[in-house]
Chain A
Amino acid sequence: MATGNSEFMSSSRDEKAQAAKPQDSCTGKPQDPEWASGLKKLYESVVDEPLPDSFKDLLSRLDEHEGK
């Protein structure tokens, strides 16, 4: 009898990573410590920040270089 219930451990913690790799061999512990969502939140909070002008300037300067 094959048993295939290791999928049970998957959670929605990091969807992409889990989708690509359904089972996590090296952690037998609960997969979803409370800080895991905090880590994503940290990352997303920076992603969602408005882009500082310095970056807009830099990006537009790249084009100028291209022009010469």
Chain B
Amino acid sequence: MTKRELPKRSAEDKRAFKRELTEVVPHLRAFARGLCGRPDMADDLVQEALLKAWAAQERFEPGTSMRAWTFVILRNAYLTDMRRNRFRGEYDEGVAERILTAPAGQEEPLHLSDLHRALLTLPPERREALLLVGAGGFSYEEAANICGCAVGTIKSRVGRARAALSSMLEDGDIPDRAIDDPAAHRAILEELDEVAAGRGEAAATK
């Protein structure tokens, strides 16, 4: 293992970092909202991630993707907070309704709020995989790097997430995540431990 000395950052490097970090904030907010559902909590999470990213800026390699780098930080913050029980994919119907009214929607047979709710019922590792690939436009390879798992794992999670969403939305049957149910809640937290440890597959195969 080569321990590379990080070069000292010039003022120009720091300005560039700040600029790129600023540019990526809207994407962090979108990713966070998809992950945790509640806009206020999502924004808290993004702020936390921004502070962490700032503190760790020496570790950012100029020229690499700021979005991918900060998504890793955001994701880790999310998993930590989830395990601390700060939020669990709670869904705020009123807020969502206000936010999700599609502005450009013509005759949209699909309600985006239904989609979002369905998304939040997915196991976290599938949800994040689908968000990264299907919403964020990352390649499978990039998503695998962000999640710290194999490309095949990401493909399988995205495939399962797509299948689950399709079936929920076609049948119009979107289950509640039943987070008040202690058993379900425990299962969610166990899943998260698996994901955080980079072993999401065990949880994914129920």
A interface residue numbers (CB < 8 A to B): 13-17, 19-21, 24-27, 29, 33-36, 38-49, 51-52, 54-55, 58-59, 62-63, 65-66
Contact = CB atoms under 8 A, between A and B. Distances in A.
A11 to B, nearest CB: 12
A36 B108 CA distance: 13
B140 A17 contact: yes
A29 B163 CA distance: 9
B115 A38 contact: yes
Interface residues of B, number: 51
Given A26-B156, A55-B47, A62 B18 contact: yes
For A19, A45, A63, A66, which residue has the most chain B Cβ atoms within 10 angstroms? A45
Given A29-B166, A40-B134, 4 more contacts: A20-B142, A26-B156, A44-B30, A52-B43
A46 B155 contact: no
A36 B115 CA distance: 10
Contacts of A63: 18
For A21, A24, A35, A66, which residue has the most chain B Cβ atoms within 10 angstroms? A35
Question: What does DSSP make chain A's interface, helix, strand, loop or mixed?
Answer: helix
Given A20-B140, A34-B110, A14 B166 contact: no
A34 B112 CA distance: 11
Nearest to B26: A47
A51 B116 CA distance: 21
A27 B21 CA distance: 35
B25 A55 contact: yes
A33 B29 contact: no
A15 B103 CA distance: 23
A47 B141 CA distance: 23
Nearest to A66: B14
For A16, A24, A42, which residue has the most chain B Cβ atoms within 10 angstroms? A42
Given A20-B140, A35-B115, A49 B162 contact: no
B138 A17 contact: yes
